[in-house]
Amino acid sequence: MKSSLLRLKCLSEIKSGEGIPFLTPDVSPGTHCPMRMASVIVEDIEGLSSLLVGMPECTTHSRLFSPYPEGEKGELHWLYVLDSREVVFGCRDGVMEALKKMEKAGARSILLIATCIPDLIGEDFEGVIQEIQSELSIRVAFVMLGQFKNVSYPAGSWKTMEALVALMQRQITVSNGVNILGRSPKEEHTPLPSLFPFLERNGLKLRYLAPGASLDDFCVAPDAVLNIVVSPYTQPLAIKMQKEFGVPFISLHNCYSVEEIDKAYEEIAKQFNLSCKGVFDEERKEALVLEKQAANICHGLKYVLSLRVDLPLPLTQYFITKLGMKPLLLHMEEYYPEDKNYAKSIRKSGYDPLVCRVVNEYTALQILQELSPDLGIGYLPNTNDTFPWVTDMFDFYGQVGYGRSNAVLKRLLCAVNKSSHFSKGGTYGTSSI
């Protein structure tokens, strides 16, 4: 292995997000602080207030992207700045007083967001909330987001969504109620998967839970008979809702192959005694055709995964098992609990790719070229004169089902077919589609 790659680890060596090394020692401009994601999410949930606890630099940074202490519907987004005494002895009393003031000022529910210093000194916010909850008529949840434990931004999303379970209340189950976890009710830029109109036509009531939904929607979410997960950021929420309220879930965000999608759709249909026969035939047949074409054209291609690929391990498993492609290096922003199963499957297939975080996109390309890949997948600037790239993969975030797989395969085939690397004497030949 060349010297610039020696700092990296193989997938088999990664056990958590903290273990993912940076591709380069110069990590500027770095990744987003998870606190930022939590603040943005809270601001986008109508009716939910927040109390961010941290040092002056944390609170100042928070105001850059969340500039107003009041929301459009009367929400409160307050900042609690630690003084020197609290940094040493803790902020228990001050935070409890702040929560009381927020309730008096009109907050309906509060998410307490703890940053690095409270996490570092071991402030017991679970104990704080247990002690103060009996004195409040509103519910309070908390999330710990010290960046030294959460190296990248996804934790700010999935841990915040998971924390919202504490604001939920047990409900009488609605037999036709389904939560779609990871899609906003106001979503416009992401195409609606064909599955959801099918479910609605058959009398199911869909509730979309993501930033953009309301606090009321989250509070009554346990009334659903099923959760359908369409985002990795809401998988932990689904798991916790199953544990706390017994709401089962089916995940679609990690299904790429026709067989995986078939199985998930059949499980959903069985839950409500529905039949999918003939409903999705057109897009399913297209997926089978595209999978066959991609397997013929892309078999044996060595590739690297770069930025803006939200599910690197499920996608890599799909590329290996269905297309016969060979992973060399994977950029991973986060290592989710379910990623252990995908890593195991990838290893069983005979591959153990390098894993890293690409955070300095302007120096990454030169290093990735040392691996001599045939193909790049994801985002990097200035890739036109190198090996072919499948770009804009983050366009598929929030999409699921046959339609998502079809779009991914079309983009993959387009990149390979257009590249002179393959069509003019390159390692692999291509055929038209």
For residue range 266-301, what is the model confidence (pLDDT) as tens digits?
A: 999 999 999 999 999 999 999 999 999 999 999 999
Of 115, 66, 60, 127, nearest to 87 by C-alpha is 115
pLDDT at 431 over 50: no
> For the chain, what is the domain count?
3
Same domain assignment for residues 419 and 288: yes
Tokens of 106: 């009109």
Give the rounded distance of the alpha carbon of 122 from its chain centre: 27
Strands (E), 173-233: 177-181, 205-209, 226-229
Of 236, 271, 306, the residue at which a domain comes to its end is: 271
Same domain assignment for residues 48 and 134: yes
Instruction: Report, as an integer, the average pLDDT of 236-241.
Output: 97
pLDDT at 418 over 70: yes
pLDDT at 392 over 90: no
Percent of the chain residues topping a pLDDT of 70: 94
The pLDDT tens digits of the residues spanning 166-211 come to: 999 999 999 999 999 999 988 877 889 999 999 999 999 999 999 9
The pLDDT tens digits of the residues spanning 293-343 come to: 999 999 999 999 999 898 999 999 999 999 999 999 999 999 988 899 999
Which residues, other chains included, contact 127 with Cβ-Cβ below 8 Å and sequence gap of 6+?
Answer: none
Q: What is the CATH number of the domain that holds 105?
A: 3.40.50.1980
Instruction: Report, as an integer, the average pLDDT of 226-237.
Output: 96
- Where would I find the H helices in 22-166? 34-43, 56-65, 84-89, 92-104, 116-120, 125-133, 154-163
Residue 382's pLDDT is 77
pLDDT at 116 over 70: yes
Domain of 25 in residue numbering reads as 3-29+281-423
Same domain assignment for residues 215 and 262: yes
Mean pLDDT across the chain, nearest whole number? 91
